[in-house]
């Protein structure tokens, strides 16, 4: 099962347990996180931030981190599994020559803190 589907299932389970509002908030935060990472991609494409350092913004890493952040915030007992999953995904990307380790690490270091902030709702009134 993909991490994307697992995330959707956990949100649906929250809603089915009678907390529709909380489920919709979580879904909205995942959607906001997704918009954020694609916004960074468009910004990088326009300003060539990663290429200025000889790197490539890893949209693959960023989208995977949207769902990793969700599980870190809402299902922390799965955090170790998420780290293993992300590490494995990174190894596959490097093996298939999609991205370098530096691409993946710089994307993760920049993106993950923002995603954790978005999904923890620290800046919202919810």
| 35: number of Cβ within 10 Å | 12
pTM of the model: 0.86
Instruction: Give the whole-angstrom CA distance, residue 17 versus residue 94.
Output: 40
Question: Which string of b and e fits 24-33 if b means at least 16 CB within 10 Å?
Answer: ebbbebbeeb
Walk along the chain (126 residues) and give the pLDDT tens digit of each residue: 577 787 788 888 988 998 899 889 989 999 999 999 999 999 999 999 999 999 999 999 999 999 999 988 888 787 888 888 889 999 999 999 999 999 999 999 999 999 999 998 755 444
3-state secondary structure labels for all residues of the chain: CCHHHHHHHHHHHHHHCCCHHHHHHHHHHHHHHHHHHHHHHHHHHHHCCCHHHCCCCCHHHHHHHHHHHHHHHHCHHHHHHHHHHHHHHHHHHHHCCCCCHHHHHHHHHHHHHHHHHHHHCCCCCC
Which residues have a Cβ under 8 Å from the Cβ of 81 and sit 6 or more positions away?
71
């Amino acid at each position: 099962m993909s991490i994307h589907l697992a995330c959707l299932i956990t949100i649906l389970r929250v809603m089915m347990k009678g907390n529709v509002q909380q489920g919709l908030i979580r879904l909205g935060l995942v959607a906001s996180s997704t918009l954020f990472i694609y916004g960074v991609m468009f910004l990088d494409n326009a300003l060539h931030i990663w290429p200025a350092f000889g790197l490539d913004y890893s949209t693959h890493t960023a989208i995977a981190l949207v769902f990793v952040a969700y599980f870190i915030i809402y299902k922390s007992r799965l955090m170790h599994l998420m780290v293993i999953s992300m590490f494995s995904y990174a190894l596959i990307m490097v093996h298939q020559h999609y991205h370098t380790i530096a691409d993946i690490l710089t994307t993760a270091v920049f993106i993950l803190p923002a995603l954790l902030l978005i999904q923890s709702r620290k800046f919202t009134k919810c």
